[in-house]
Amino acid sequence: MMPSHPEAILRAVFGYEQFKPLQREVIQNVLKKRDTLVIMPTGGGKSLCYQIPALIFPGLTVVVSPLIALMKDQVEQLRQIGIPAVFLNSSLSPHEYQENMAQVRNGEIKLLYVAPETLLTPRLFNLLESLPLDCLTIDEAHCISEWGHDFRPEYRQLVAARERFPQAVCLASTATATPRVRQDIKSTLRFETSNEFIASFNRSNLLIEVQPKTDPTVQTLRFLERFQNQSGIVYCFARKQVEELAENLSRLEFSARPYHAGLEDKERKANQEAFLHDDIQIVVATIAFGMGINKPNVRFVLHFDLPKSIESYYQEIGRAGRDGLPAQCLLLYNYGDAKKLQYFIDQKEGTERQVAFEHLKALRKYAESDVCRRVPLLAYFGERYITHNCGMCDNCLAEEKKQVEITIQAQKFLSCALRSGEKFGAGHIADILLGAENPKILKFDHQNLSTYSIGKDLSRKQWLHIGDQLLQKGYLERTEHGSLRLTPEARQALKERQPILGVLLEERQPATLIGRQITGAYDEQLFEILRSRRKQLADDARLPPYVIFSDRTLIEMATAYPTTPQRLRSIFGMSEHKLKRYGQIFLEVMQAYCQEHQIEPPLPSLEKTKNAATTPGKKPRFIEVGERYNRGLSVEKIMLEYNVRRETVINHLTLYLLEGNSLTNTDGLPKSTLSLHHQENVLAEFKRHGAKYLNPIFDALQGTIDYSELSIICLYFLVGSQAEDTLPDGFPP
C-alpha cells in the first residue's frame, strides 16, 4: 500500500529522511494544483518535486524531457523503487512503443516520460484525452527560451498541450536561473497562478579551485592520482586535445575514454555508457558531454581549458557531487588560454562577438579573483553570497591558513637553532626536530640535544616553511654562510613567550581534505566489497550501478555495518522496495564480513552521529525512546519529535526490549495487519528462532511476510516473553 502523505512517501518509497530545501513547498504547491516554476541547481532534487505528487494524484503525470538518455535512466530508477513508470520516445521499437502505450491506456502507469515532439503527436493527445491527467511536468524548461543556453523550438509548442489539458497542473523545472529565462518560461506556458520557487545555487559540497596552468598534463596527472577508483570528467576546449589527453591517460593506465561530437555515434554512446556503468572512471570530453548525465557519484570535474562562460562553467562543475557528497572542481587557467579564446571571439561578429567577449571578461575576473569563489559565481545568478569563509574554495582555504597561531612551532624551531649553536641552516634544524639519524646529526652529537625529535608532528616541508616565515618576520637572520641566527626580537619573543602568528603549510592538498571527509569514517574494504557486489547486480540487470544503490548508501552501510533488516532499513536511500529486492543480498555480504573480521555492529542509535546520540553522557537513543514511550508519548509523536520513520521507532523499541527493559503500555504499539492465524504462525517462528535476527524468520516463512510486519510482531513477541510466555493484552485482535 502506498502511503499518502509526502513525508511518508519520502521515507517509505524513496528511503530518505528529510526533504531538501524547497521540495516540501513545491510539492504542496503542486498538490494544490497551482502552476509552479522550480529553479534548482543540478542535484537540488527537482525530480522528487513531481514524483511525489504523481504518487498522490489519482491520475497520470506526464513528464516532458528533451533528453532521451535521461528518460530511460529516470524510468529505471523509478522501477527500482516500485513505481510504475514508462517512457515513449523514438528510441523504442514499434513493439515496445505499443506495449508502453497499452500500459498507459490501462491506467497501470503513474508517470509517463515523453519527448516534446512525442507529446505533440495526435496519437498521444488521443491517448491522454481518454485518461485522467493530473500533472504536466516540463523538465529542462529553459529549452523554451531563446535566451537560454539550449533553445528547442518544439518546446514552444508545448502550450498546445496546456490548452488541451487544462485540468492538469503544470510544473516547469530548470537549473537555469537568469531572470530573463524565467520570465520567458512563465509567459510561454501561460502560467496564471504562477508560483516560483528558486533554490540557492550554492553547491556547498563542491570544493572549487583555480590553479595557474603551468604544466597542464602534469597537473592533470597529479590531480587524477588523488581519485583512485572514482568517477570524474575532464573538460577540454578542442576535440584534438580530448583525443590526445584521453590517449595519454590510457597509456598511463588511467581508465579513461574520449567524448566529443566528432566521434562516431556508436563510439560516443559506448563511452558514455561505460562511464555511467562504472566500467571506466574518466571521461575526457568537450562541452558536448554532460547534458542528461544523471550520474550522482561524479567526484571531480577538471577544466583543462577555460570554459566558455561562467554559466557553462557552473553547469559543468555542477555535474560533480550530485549525491551531496564532497566533490572537487579544478580549473587550470592562464593568460595564454584567455588570449586564445579572445582570438576565436575576434572571428565573430556583432552582438555574438560582444556577448562572447563579456562572457570571457566575467570568467577571467572569476579566475583571477582572490575572494571566495562562490561570491562571483553566485552573483552571476543574481544571488548574493555572504559568508565569512566558505571553507570549500581555494581562496577561503588559503585565507584560513593565515589564521593559525604558530607560537609553539616557532619556539621549537628557534630554540633548536639556538641549542645547535646558530651554525646550521633550516634543513639541518628540521632534521634535528624530526629526530633524523643522518651522519651530520651523529657527527655533531645532535641526537643528544633536548630539541632532538620534538617536532615529529610536522613534516620536513612544514618545518622548512616555518623557518622561512621566521626569517621573513625578522626572528631569524641568515649569515653569509647560510646558517640561521636568532635576532634580538627572537630572544625576546622566547623569553616573553610572545604569541607568533603565521601559516601552517597544509601538508595535504584540498583534494585530500575531500578524501578525508568522504573516507575518514567508513570501512573502505567493506565498501569495495559492497561496490563490486553492486556492480555484479547492475551488470546482470544491465543498469548503471547507482540505480541499484547510491555510493552514499554503500558508504553508510560500510559505516554502520547493518546486519539485520531493521538496521538496514534506516540506511540512507533504503526504500522498502529495495530492501525487499536487495536487502538479503547485501545483508549476507555484511554478515560474512563482520564475522570474518569479528566486527560487532554498532547499535543503530550510534550509527548516525547527526542524531547526536553519541554525545558523551547522553543516553543511547533507543533508551530515550523507550523511556519516553513508557511515559506516555505515542509512536506518532516520537516520529515527529525525532523526525524518524515508524520503522525506526519500532527499531528503538525493539532494542529497548532486547536490552531487558519492559514496555508498560502495549496498547500504543503499532498493530499488525495480518490475520490472527498468520500472526500466530509468525509468533511460533519467533519462539523457535528468537528475536535477535529477523532473516531466519523471514526465510522460515518463505518470504511471505515482509520485514515491516515481522518487526511489528517481533515487538509483541518480546513484550510477550517478558510476561512469561503469555500473549500480552495488547496483542492485536
Residue 295 carries which side chain, given as an amino acid letter? K
Residue 141 amino acid letter: A
Q: Report the residue number, 73 or 431, with the smaller CB distance to ligand ADP.
A: 73
When CB distances are held under 5 to 8 angstroms depending on the partner's kind, the choice from Zn ion, ligand ADP, none that residue 372 binds is Zn ion
Measured from the CB atom, is 20 or 637 closer to ligand ADP? Answer: 20
Rounded Cα distance between 713 and 654, Å, is 10
Given 47, 188, 469, 570, the residue binding ligand ADP (CB under 6 A): 47
Nearer to ligand ADP, 9 or 60 (CB): 9
**Considering the complex, what minimum distance in angstroms separates the CB of residue 364 from Zn ion?**
19
Cβ 198 to ligand ADP shortest distance, Å: 13
Which of 13, 26, 39, 45 contacts ligand ADP by CB under 6 A? 45
Q: Which three cell numbers stand for residue 395?
A: 581562496
CB of 11 to ligand ADP, least distance (A): 10
CA angle at 235 for the pair 543 and 349, rounded to the nearest 5°: 125
Chain-centroid distance, C-alpha 79: 21
> Count residues contacting ligand ADP (CB under 6 A)?
17
**Among ligand ADP, Zn ion, none, partner that 40 touches (CB below 5 to 8 angstroms by kind):** ligand ADP
Nearer to Zn ion by C-beta: 393 or 574?
Answer: 393
Shortest CB 584 distance to ligand ADP, Å: 23
Rounded to the nearest whole angstrom, what is the least distance from the CB of residue 76 to ligand ADP in the complex?
A: 13
- Per the listing, cell 497499452 goes with 102
C-alpha span between 591 and 563 (Å, rounded): 6
Considering all CA atoms of the chain, what is the largest pairwise distance in Å, rounded to the nearest integer?
A: 96
State in angstroms the smallest separation of the CB of 206 from Zn ion.
11
Hey, which residues between 519 and 558 contact ligand ADP (CB under 6 A)? 550
Query: Where does 121-270 show beta strands of DSSP type E?
Result: 133-138, 169-174, 195-198, 206-212, 231-235, 256-259
* 525 contact, one of Zn ion, ligand ADP, none, CB 5-8 Å limit per kind: none
Q: Which amino acid is at 534?
A: R
Residue 473 interface partner, choices ligand ADP, Zn ion, none, CB cut-off 5-8 Å depending on type: none
In the set 46, 319, 373, 578, which binds ligand ADP (CB under 6 A)?
46
Q: How far is the CB of 317 from Zn ion (least distance, A)?
A: 14
Q: Least CB distance from residue 386 to ligand ADP, whole Å?
A: 24
| Residue 674 Cβ vs ligand ADP, minimum distance, rounded to whole Å | 31
d(CA 538, CA 279): 11
Rounded to the nearest whole angstrom, what is the least distance from the CB of residue 114 to ligand ADP in the complex? 17
Residues from 280 through 299 that contact ligand ADP (CB under 6 A): 296
Q: Which of 6, 29, 35, 44 binds ligand ADP (CB under 6 A)?
A: 44
420 binds, among Zn ion, ligand ADP, none (CB under 5 to 8 A by kind): none
Q: Which is nearer to Zn ion, 362 or 606 (CB)?
A: 362
Going by C-alpha positions, the residue among 27, 95, 17 that lies closest to residue 61 is: 27
From the list ligand ADP, Zn ion, none, partner contacted by residue 22 (C-beta under 5 to 8 A by kind): none
| Binding site partner of 112, from Zn ion, ligand ADP, none, Cβ cut-off 5-8 A by kind | none
Phi, psi for 285 (deg, rounded to 5): -145, 160
The partner in contact with residue 20, picked from ligand ADP, Zn ion, none with C-beta cut-offs of 5 to 8 angstroms by kind, is: ligand ADP
Cα 468 to Cα 266: distance, rounded to the nearest angstrom:
57
Instruction: Give the residue with the Cβ less far from Zn ion, 400 or 539.
Output: 400
| C-alpha closest to that of 371 among 399, 331, 329 | 399
CB nearer ligand ADP, residue 48 or residue 655: 48
Q: How many CB atoms lie within 10 A of CB 633?
A: 15
Cα 587 to Cα 561: distance, rounded to the nearest angstrom? 9
Contacts 24+ apart (CB under 8 A), 689-696: 691/654, 691/658, 691/717, 691/718, 691/721, 692/658, 693/563, 693/564, 694/564, 694/565, 694/566, 695/564, 695/565, 695/584, 695/587
Q: Residue 485's beta-bridge partner residues?
A: 477
Neighbouring residues of 390: CB distance < 8 A, sequence distance ≥ 6: 204, 372, 373, 374, 396
Are 70 and 294 spatial neighbours (Cβ–Cβ below 8 Å)? yes
Nearer to Zn ion, 282 or 377 (CB): 377
In angstroms and rounded to an integer, the radius of gyration of the C-alpha atoms of the chain is 31
Query: In angstroms, what is the minimal distance from the CB of 235 to ligand ADP?
Result: 19
Residue 594 has which C-alpha cell?
563482520
Given the complex with Zn ion, which of 263 and 390 has the nearer CB atom?
390
Question: DSSP assignment, residue 326?
Answer: -
Q: Can residue 460 be called a binding residue for ligand ADP (CB under 6 A)?
A: no
Nearest distance, CB of residue 372 and Zn ion, angstroms: 3
> Nearer to Zn ion by C-beta: 372 or 715?
372
User: Look-up: residue for cell 555484479?
Assistant: 536
- CA angle 270/272/274 to nearest 5° reads 70
Residue 38 CB, nearest distance to ligand ADP (Å)?
9
The answer to whether the beta carbons of residues 726 and 720 sit under 8 Å apart is yes
Judged by the rule CB under 5 A, the positions of this chain that interact with Zn ion are 372, 390, 393, 396
Residues 9-38: x where in contact with ligand ADP by CB under 6 A, - otherwise, as a string: -------x-xxx--x---------------
393 binds, among ligand ADP, Zn ion, none (CB under 5 to 8 A by kind): Zn ion
Which residue number, 550 or 564, has a Cβ lying nearer to ligand ADP? 550
And the C-alpha cell for 559? 559505516
Taking the C-alpha atoms of residue 497 and residue 495, their distance in angstroms, rounded to an integer, is 6
Nearer to ligand ADP, 44 or 502 (CB): 44
CB of 689 to ligand ADP, least distance (A): 35
End-to-end CA distance of the chain: 21
Distance CA 502, CA 405 (A): 6
Q: Does 326 bind ligand ADP (CB under 6 A)?
A: no
Least CB distance to ligand ADP at residue 573 (A):
7
Contact 375, 368 (CB under 8 A): no
Q: Does 43 interact with ligand ADP (rule: CB under 6 A)?
A: yes
- The total of other beta-carbon atoms located within 10 Å of residue 84's CB is 16
- Tell which one of 48, 189, 310, 644 touches ligand ADP (CB under 6 A): 48
9 binds, among Zn ion, ligand ADP, none (CB under 5 to 8 A by kind): none
The residue assigned the cell 524531457 is: 65
Among Zn ion, ligand ADP, none, residue 232 binds (CB under 5-8 Å by kind): none
Q: How far apart are CA 200 and CA 82, in angstroms?
A: 31
- Residue 218, CA distances (Å) to 213, 215, 221, 252 in order: 10, 6, 5, 12
Given the rule CB under 6 A, which residues bind ligand ADP?
Answer: 16, 18-20, 23, 40, 42-48, 296, 322-323, 550
